Amino acid sequence: MDWLAWLNPFTYLSEQEYLLWWNGLADRFLVGVPLRLLTIAFLSGCYWCGVYRQRVGLAILLFLLALVTAYLHPLMHVIGLV
């Protein structure tokens, strides 16, 4: 179970560093133009994989990633992380 302890960020980061890291990530990538470009890229990939490549599983995964990128930042505001 060492890999499980490795996945826990609080074993090597303090709570303040962890929140600072997430807030930095949210400020850089989860707002404005980068977020919209990432969402458009996921939706384009979803369409391309679903229609042209006929890989429905990958298309669903890309669609779910597009949903996460579209709604994660507002959800972080609701929860109070940002």
Give the C-alpha separation, 79 to 72, whole Å: 10
pLDDT for 7-53, tens place per residue?
888 888 899 998 898 888 878 877 788 888 989 999 999 999 999 88
What are the phi and psi torsion angles at 22 (to 5°)?
-65, -40
Residue 82 — very low, low, confident or very high, per pLDDT cuts 50/70/90?
A: low
Please state, rounded to an integer, the average pLDDT across all residues of the chain.
Answer: 86
Q: Say what the pLDDT of residue 55 is.
A: 92
